[in-house]
A and B are shown apart, each in its own frame.
Chain A
Amino acid sequence: MNHTDLEVNRQQYLTFLLRDECFGISIDTVREIIEYGQLTTVPLMPDFVKGVINLRGDIVPVIDLSIRLGRNALELKNRTCIIILEIPFEGQRVVIGAAVDSVNEVLEIGKEQVEPPPSFGARLKAQFIQGVVNVEQSFVVLLHGDKVLSIEELASLIENVKPEKGRGENV
């Protein structure tokens, strides 16, 4: 069940920055926000996989959301943080982290405020975008969290970017 299909007038979105672009994601999937740090690199991963962290005993992968959205890699600064999300996958909720430049406020946005995404210029895959909204003259791109961080897609990407193909999958 896609939470973004909820028929409520007003939805809450966590907004965050990637460089100077502002994005929003429904807080339904957001578990917490933590400081960036203590990451362990995972060998042989494509560059959008920053590594894993020890989140109170759970080992959670962290994705560079900037790379994932087709932009340059994040530059790590002291405001860099990780949004911990729960994404549905095969009947379970998988915990995954998204690294971003900084996190802003939670905005309450009414359905009527959300406009369809522009057909070009957003430089993002159409299926990632829920819509766009204007808030105090700034332009917030609302993202489908479960598409951007689709476990299936991320897994496939990792699989295919691996240097040695030919042994076949899952060997």
Chain B
Amino acid sequence: MAVTIERKADFHILVFSAELSIFSVRDDFDSLKTLSQEAVSQLMIDLSHVQDFDSAGLQLLLYLRQQLQSEQPLRWLGLDNPVISKVLTLFRLDLTAMEA
């Protein structure tokens, strides 16, 4: 299942499913193409449900960060998900920072 978009208060939350890998990135990407401009300004990305995470998935997140961050960095949920943190630590990446 691809990423879904939920609404919570003012925020649009991108909720990634358990699969965030080469097998899902195509669909995830297509889903995200429909994000409206309005949604982008108040966006959160929820990674707490991800269970399979690989470089393709990471790449997608990096892409999103690059594309979607504006004045402020993106907001993230579930960065303490061990599946996610393991990879981020390996690559010495801090998603909450502004992309350089």
Chains A, B in direct contact (C-beta < 8 Å): no
B residues adjacent to A (C-beta < 8 A) = none
A residues adjacent to B (C-beta < 8 A) = none
